[in-house]
Structure 1
C-alpha cells in the first residue's frame, strides 16, 4: 500500500478537471458506510488509523446529534489522493429524513457508490437508495460490506444482487474481483481483468471461469470486442478496462467490490485499494458530464453552486460549493442571482473538523468558502449576471412541530436563529400560522426535527418548548337562524344607538355573502356597510369556538337608528351582536381541513397503507402504477389524521414510502370528534 498512497496532511491539489472524481457514497443505517469511508481514507494515506487519530482528525465533522442518533444527518466531503487523481467522496446521509442532503450530493457527483450489507443485501432502504441513483442517472457501483458475518456466502449474495438490481439483465451486475474468504475474514482478492493481486488471496478455485464470465459480459456489450472474443482472440486487460469504463459511464453495468474493515486500526483494509483503483480508472471525471449544467472549463466565466452550508465555532459560516465552470480564487467578488454580490475571502478543503487552505478551485472541484454573508444553500455564485443554476429535488417538510420560546431571552434570539438554520437547511420550512398564531417548524421527520431543535440549542443557545400542534379548523351554520342586535347606551352627551335584525343561512363552499333587504329606511343607507363590517369582524373571530366562521349568507332585514346617537361604531357592534345571537339560536357545525394526498410506495406495502388510510377516515380515489414495482395511491384525508403521518408511513413502508399533500377544502367534522375537541355547541 505504501507505493500507492503516502500519508499527507495537505489538501489534494489537481491541475486539470480530468484528474477529479466526484463520487457520492450512499448506504442505509447499519451498512458500514462510515467504516468504509475510514478504510478508504486509511488506505489513501489521509488517516493513520481508523476511528480517527489523537489530534482529533476524523473522516467527517459529526454533530453531537449524529452521535446520539447513530446516523449521518448532513453531507460530508472526504477528499482523497489516489493514482494521480483527487477523489471527492461525498458521504451522504442515507436516512429518508435527510434526503435533501442526499439529493444535493447526487446533483454534485458524477457517479455513485452504493454500500450494501451482505447480511441484508436487498433491504427496503437499500432498494430505495438504488432507485435514487437510477433516477439521478448516475453510473453506480456496489460495495459489499459485512462479509465476515456468520453464514454469509458471497455467491448467494451476488445472486441476490443480480436478481434485485439487474432490472431483468442480471449480467449487468459485475463481480470484478474474486475474493479469498476464510474463517469469516477477507484475506485478499484477485482483479479478474488484469490478474492484479491484493492482499494474500492464495489460490482461489474457479478463478479462470469467473474471469471468463466477466469477459463475456463486458465483450457482449461491445460489437468489436465481441467479434474478437468469438474469434478466439485473447482480449487484453487494457481493452477490457476501456470497454468496462464505457459501459459503466453509460449506466449499462454495475461493478461490485467486496470490502472489509482492517483487522487492526492501522492495518490494511481489504477491498479498499481495489475500490480506489476502480474509481480512479473507471469512474467518470467532470469532463464526462453531459447534462444542461455549464460545461467544465476552468477558463470559462465562474459558475459555482452552494450544495451544503454549516457553521464552525471559530470560522463562522462555511459553504461547500461545487464549481461548475471557471476557477474560483480568494478575494473574488461573485454575483448571486436575485441577491447581493458576495466577496469570497478564504478557500479551504475540508477534512473532518480541519479546514486546509487551498489557493484555488478549478471547474469540477468542490471547495469550502468562508463567511459568505447572505448566500444560502442552493444559491448560484457567478462571475456575471447569469440565471441561477437548477436546484436539486428537496423533500417536502410534512411533519409539524409547534414551538414556543422558553423564556423572554430565547424569544429575542429565536427569529434570527431560525432564519440562519433555514438558510443552511432548505428542507426546513418555518411558518407563523395566521389562523392558530403558532410558530410551526415543518420538518421531514422526527430525526430532522431533533436535529433542528438541537441546532437551536447547541449552535445558537436558544431553548424552545414544543407544544401541541393545532389544526386550523373553521365553523359554520348547520341550519338557518335569526338574530337581534341591540346596542343602546346613554351616558351623558352623545350616546350610542343601533339596532339590527339578521338572518343567517348556510352557504356551503360559498364563502361569505352579505345581503341588504332593509325596506323603508329603518337602517340608513350610510350605516348598512357598518353592519357588514361588524359581521365580518365577528366572523373572523368566530362566534362559539374561536375558529373563524365561513360559508354563510347573512341578510340584514330590519333595524332602527337614532338621528343623533347612531354611528358607524354602534352599527358595527350591533351587527356583531346580532350574529352572535343567531349562533345561539341556531346549530353550529365544525369544519376540518381535508387534504388531497398522493402516496408513492413499493407494491408490497400497498395493502397495509390502504388499510391505514381507511382507518384515518381517508377516502381512496384510486391507485395507479408509479414506476417499476411501485404504486401511486391517491386519497382525500382530513388534516387532523395527517399530523403524524410522515412517521407512520415510514414505519408501514420500512422507510420507502413518500407522500405529498395539498389543501383541498374544509368539510364537516363528525360530531363525536367535534365533541372530543370541545368545539361542538
Structure 2
C-alpha cells in the first residue's frame, strides 16, 4: 500500500494546440528526466521529447500518444501525452481507458473548444478524475476566469480555481488560494519556486473571492466542509486539501490551476496538485469479467500478491518487433514469466520487459500492480486482456472505438512492392479506427479513417517507413443508409434445376430501431419470433447471415445500413428442397424488397466546426461557411483581436477548407472539426446519388 500511494498514472489531454506537449516537456525538465527544454516546432532542430516521430516534428502536432515516467517529491508519475487532433481521437480513448487521473489543459485565450468537449466526454466515459490547467496565460487576451466559467457552463463541471493569475503588468506568477501565498518562478527556466506572504494589493481581493468561492463549492459536495461552513468556521489548509482530494477522486469537483508552460510558470504547482488531488491506483475501482464463472463482474485489486491481470491498450511497431503497452491492474509481471491471452487462448513467455520514455526504453525485471510497461514479441490485438492463466481468467471491458467517417482509394506505384500489404496490416493492428478493405467491384484497396489528416499521415508513413509510394484517389465520405418507416415482407425463394432444388419462404417486417434518424447505432438487430417450427431451427442462423449480407451493402446506394431491426415471425420450408443457402438467399431478397417501401434514407456525417480568426475577417468566415451549406450555431469575440465562429457543416462540404480559410484570413485563421452526427442528405441530392449508383451498376452489367 505504501508503494501504491507513491504512484500516479496520468494523461495530458486537450484541444489541439493548447500546449499539452509543451507542458509535458516542462514536467520532464522540472522532474529531472531531461536536461534541456526543447520546443514543439523543433526550431532548434531537436523538437519536443514526446514528439519523437519525424512527421510530428515537421508538422508541430502530436500524432501518437507517447508514454514516459518521472519522479516528483518521492512519487513516481507515469505520464501519457496524447494528441489533440480529432483524427487521432483513438489515442486519447485508449490512454484514458487505462489511466487513474488526467490533466485537462485549456487554452487561456480560446477557453473550452470543440476537442475539449470531446476529451471531457471521453474522461466521463471512463470515470477519470481530472484537474484542469489553464495554459497560455502569458498571451494577449488570456482570461482564466472566463475559461473556468466555460468549464462550468459548457462541460457541466464543478470547477473552481485553486490558483489565480498575477497580471502586474504581465503574467509573472500565481496566488495559491488554499495557502494564500504568492508563488513566483525564479532562476534558470523558472526552476525555483519562491513562496511569499506579500500578495500584490490589486490581487488580494480576487484571491479572497476565489478562496470563498472554493469553500462555498466544496461545502455543497463535502460533508466535513459543509459542517464547518454552517458553523462559520474557517477550514485549515489540511482540511481544504483533504476535501479537494475527496471531491476530485469522486468526480464531483475539478480543481483548476493556472500558468504558462511556455514561460515556465505554474508547472511545479500543477505537479504538486497531481500528487495532492489525483488518485493512486488503489483508489480507483477497476472491474473485470470472470470468464471461468459466466462472466460475473469482479473488482480487481492493485495487489502484487494476487494473480496477474493486465490490459494491452496500445500496439506500436518498434525496432525489435511489435511493442505492446500494458497496464498491470493486479498481480505482477516478471521477465521470464508466462502470460495467457484471454481472447486467443495462447500462452507467451515474457522475454523482455521495459519502461518507456518517449521512444527510448529501460529494461526492468518486474512490474508491479498499478504500473504501466511495454513488452516485446507478443502476438495480440489492441484491447486484449492478459492473465497468468492459473489463478484468474478475467477479461477487461473493451474500449470505445469510433466509426471512421472518411475513405480513400489507395494503390502502390510499384504493384509488386510486398511492403504495401505489410504496412496496411501493421497500421490496422496498431489503430482500430484505421480500416482497410478491397472493393469487390473495382478491386481497389480502400482505406477508412477519422479525417483527411489521419489518412494523409498513414500515406506519408508508408513512404517513409516502408518505402512505398502510393497513388491516392479523391477522399470519400462514409455515408450510411437507413430506413424511416416500417415495411412488411413475404418472400419466397424457389429454384428448380432438375435435381434437388431450392425453396424457402420468410415472412416478417423491418423497422427503424430509433425514430430519431440522426442517432446512429453501431449494430442492426435480427429478431427471431418464429413459433411452431414453421422455419426449422437449423435454418434460422442462415436467415441471420442473409440479413447481415443485405445490410453490409445498402439497397439504394450501396452504403452500409444502420438502425434497422429485422423480425422474422413466419415462413415455410420444404422437406427436400430447403437448405441453409436457400434461406440465406430468401432473407437477403426479402430485406431488399422491403427496403423499397420503408422510406430509405441516405445519411451523411455532419461535423461540429469551430473557426478562430481575426475579428476583421469574421464576415469572410461566415460567408465561406454559408456557401458550404453550414448552419451557424454561435459567434463570439474571444478578445479584442480574435473571434470564434461555430457551425454544423456536412463533412463532404469541408474538403479543401483549410486552403480557403488561409486565403480568406491571410493565413491567420484556424479551424477544427469534430464528428457530431449522421444526418439525412437533402432529398434532391439523394435522388442524384441513387441515379449515379444505378448507372454505375448498369454499366457493369
TM-score category of the 2 structures, normalised to the smaller one: 0.5 to 0.7
Residue 239 of structure 1 aligns to a residue whose secondary structure is helix
Matches of residues 285-364 of structure 1 in structure 2 within 5 Å? 285-293=280-288, 294-313=300-319, 315-339=320-344, 340-364=346-370
The 3 A distance-change label for structure 1 pair 595 and 330 is farther
Please, what TM-score do these two structures have when normalized by structure 2?
0.66
Q: Within 1, Cα distance between the matches of 2:211 and 2:105?
A: 24
Match of 1:86 among 76, 92, 97: 76
Matches of residues 129-278 of structure 1 in structure 2 within 5 Å? 129-166=119-156, 172-185=158-171, 187-195=172-180, 197-199=182-184, 202-204=198-200, 205-206=204-205, 207-261=207-261, 263=263, 269-278=264-273
- CA contact under 8 A between 1:436 and 1:472: conserved in structure 2? no
Matches of residues 65-76 of structure 1 in structure 2 within 5 Å? 65-76=55-66
Cα offset for 1:355? Answer: 0.6
Matches of residues 649-668 of structure 1 in structure 2 within 5 Å? 654-659=672-677
- CA contact under 8 A between 1:161 and 1:173: conserved in structure 2? yes
Cα offset for 1:673? Answer: 8.0
- CA contact under 8 A between 1:400 and 1:643: conserved in structure 2? no
Residue 404 of structure 1 aligns to a residue whose secondary structure is strand
Cα offset for 1:408? Answer: 3.9
- CA contact under 8 A between 1:309 and 1:376: conserved in structure 2? yes
Match of 1:379 among 375, 378, 384: 384
- CA contact under 8 A between 1:193 and 1:215: conserved in structure 2? no
Residue 59 of structure 1 aligns to a residue whose secondary structure is coil
Residue number in structure 1 paired with 2:511: none
Q: Within 2, Cα distance between the matches of 1:469 and 1:446?
A: 7
- CA contact under 8 A between 1:57 and 1:353: conserved in structure 2? no
Cα offset for 1:255? Answer: 0.9
The 3 A distance-change label for structure 1 pair 467 and 333 is same
Residue number in structure 2 paired with 1:428: 434
Aligned length: 529
Q: Within 1, Cα distance between the matches of 2:361 and 2:477?
A: 45
Q: Give the structure with higher Rg (CA).
A: 1
RMSD of aligned residue pairs (Cα, Å)? 4.5
- CA contact under 8 A between 1:430 and 1:440: conserved in structure 2? yes
Residue 673 of structure 2 aligns to a residue whose secondary structure is coil
- Which string of whole-angstrom CA distances, capped at 9 and with x for unpartnered residues, describes residues 389-434 of structure 1? 2211112123222222221441x33223322221112221121222
Match of 2:105 among 93, 99, 115: 115
The 3 A distance-change label for structure 1 pair 19 and 675 is same
- CA contact under 8 A between 1:300 and 1:325: conserved in structure 2? yes
Match of 2:52 among 62, 66, 77: 62
The 3 A distance-change label for structure 1 pair 288 and 510 is same
Residue number in structure 1 paired with 2:532: none
Match of 2:16 among 23, 29, 33: 29
- Which string of whole-angstrom CA distances, capped at 9 and with x for unpartnered residues, describes residues 336-360 of structure 1? 1232222212222111232122222
Q: Within 1, Cα distance between the matches of 2:236 and 2:555?
A: 80
Match of 2:278 among 269, 279, 283: 283
Residue number in structure 2 paired with 1:416: 422
Cα offset for 1:76? Answer: 0.9
The 3 A distance-change label for structure 1 pair 675 and 165 is closer
- CA contact under 8 A between 2:495 and 2:501: conserved in structure 1? no
Please, what TM-score do these two structures have when normalized by structure 1?
0.68
The 3 A distance-change label for structure 1 pair 445 and 296 is same
Cα offset for 1:301? Answer: 1.2
Q: Within 1, Cα distance between the matches of 2:272 and 2:555?
A: 68
Cα offset for 1:515? Answer: 7.2
Cα offset for 1:215? Answer: 2.4
Residue number in structure 2 paired with 1:462: 468
Residue 210 of structure 1 aligns to a residue whose secondary structure is helix
Q: Within 2, Cα distance between the matches of 1:77 and 1:439?
A: 33
Cα offset for 1:262? Answer: 5.4
Q: Within 2, Cα distance between the matches of 1:222 and 1:376?
A: 42
- Which string of whole-angstrom CA distances, capped at 9 and with x for unpartnered residues, describes residues 588-610 of structure 1? xxxxx9765386877999x99x9
Matches of residues 397-408 of structure 1 in structure 2 within 5 Å? 397-408=404-415
Residue number in structure 1 paired with 2:567: none
Q: Which moved more, 1:646-655 or 1:63-72?
A: 646-655
The 3 A distance-change label for structure 1 pair 220 and 256 is same
- CA contact under 8 A between 2:47 and 2:57: conserved in structure 1? no
Cα offset for 1:183? Answer: 3.4
Cα offset for 1:184? Answer: 2.8
- CA contact under 8 A between 1:295 and 1:325: conserved in structure 2? yes
Residue 396 of structure 2 aligns to a residue whose secondary structure is coil
Q: Which moved more, 1:43-52 or 1:17-26?
A: 43-52
Residue 656 of structure 1 aligns to a residue whose secondary structure is strand
Q: Within 2, Cα distance between the matches of 1:647 and 1:135?
A: 31
Q: Within 2, Cα distance between the matches of 1:153 and 1:472?
A: 39
